[in-house]
Structure 1
């Protein structure tokens, strides 16, 4: 589904207010928490000081860590205060000098990524990938509808939107090659995903139940899980992704508070297998899915519109499964939804699916594409229903492919 017809400013009004971290040209070394309002960035710490707010200690910081660790009550109260600040006309004179044009600031990774995990939770993507990669064993793996399949990624290579992505190098081997070869990936792909950012930690040995999802997850962002399919096919026997994924994961510079997406909550697709109690969300008070509409663009040309409402496993189930063995949470933990895809070709969230592993190339204005070429730029955007018949945007995530640093 394409972007809504409303202007871009409407997507980032007072009903949204995502958090980020920015610096200015006159003070490039000073990072500060910002809140996006239309096409400007509010210096949240300076606003708190100007208005005598008690939340200055959480907002006058170089990153989102202290606010994220403060917990759900603080998240709610700070968001209410910010909404009032930008909505009440009497504050306009004090806030106007603290609003910076979006195109005049530098955006940074807004929190320190403590750990990173990624899931494989969309049935359409899993079925397509299975048909492509395992043609002799079509269909889902036996465990897929009983637990959210996932893997641990590399927190140190999570990068903010706008960071170039160097083409990875590694081993690859086709079924007809006598031996593996070493060189740059020839099947560099994207995966359109949604990331969930943990705020409140949990102690080791204590699983987080479905009902505690809102107590621990601070917000959401768009995420691109870059994937080297040729490296993945060779190294992933029998274990999961390693070098094929660990070279870069791009995330938006903006984190949308979970509360901002209340109007976008929807029921997930019907489950076809009975779930174990820790994953059974039948009696949960609120639906676990989100109606987020993603768009994938390559070199400025939209190629897919994946619907997040199609995700079989919800973010709450993913968090419950991630911790059910007693694994602890830390402030700044990030987990990805897995590739978002829908039933139609134009809804597929990876080039693996869109081109059917190169058999059906995309015909773009910049030429035919099976996988990404050096110089290609990929952008993920998304919007969701907001309160009172509004729409809100998620911050975009963009990355441009640069040549490998290693000769083939």
Structure 2
């Protein structure tokens, strides 16, 4: 029976599983990767570590499956991050994550002005919204900010880069040798005409406004299309058959729609990963710029998707485990079960990395509120889980 090698590149590390055509799961594997967070707004990861740990996870899965029956490789993962790579797809610098705000001071050139609302100058933001449904964030925590940061402060990395890729497109290139992106993977670059029925492609005027080098933008292909066959040397190293197709990566925003089963228009789902979001497919293009909510390119041009993001979801539990209580998740879950629902009124504010939607504020910070002498460890763990 044929099976698909499914990959999810999250901030916590890659997850891999064998998936059968009926949706059932075979063996799976997961690896952890490190994140470098700095007080200066730095948030980076190492793409070479991604690839190395992903290879280990894949080999663990393929060792348990009939490799010759693998029919395709499918990729999903984080988005809004930037991987600078050379012409071979090898990283030439750290991954700038969606949480990296070091470019904030440069964003006024692109999207701000003397008269601004939450960092957006009306005369600058209107053309972006009209065509794309959104705009680069004043915080600099997106590919526009990342590109500016590389140009202004890491010129050596920028000079060595051939492409600036999204994480899922980076994996696609490592598997196939082909640099490409889709309207879905390029959402947070806000460079494509996202009006319903519009011709797919980068908008040259927006590329200029964003101060992006068009030669470093990966060519666009259709969302959901086949990127190409896996490279023979990659297949050999991972225990896979040669020439199996690699499908263009989907942001986890899109993969969650399929995984939830909420595929009909207005059918809504909630996703909790490192971050969290609420989304549905909608038959219109609409933007709420003040609350950072917009319809974004979906699986096809007929049905966009609601895009929004709460900066920390399940990442709060990871923070608790790694920085406060050194134990495993099963133990945390068991301890949380001993606390009453609502934790006797104690709340955990999960803004460990600011917020993006419904109010963008990178200076927001987390807190436990309503603690008393009765508050114990189980209540604190449960409060984090309840968010």
TM category, shorter: under 0.3
User: Normalized per residue, which structure has more strand?
Assistant: 1
Q: Structure 1 length as normaliser, TM-score?
A: 0.27
Higher relative contact order (CA 8 A, sep 6+): 1
- For normalisation by structure 2, the TM-score amounts to 0.28
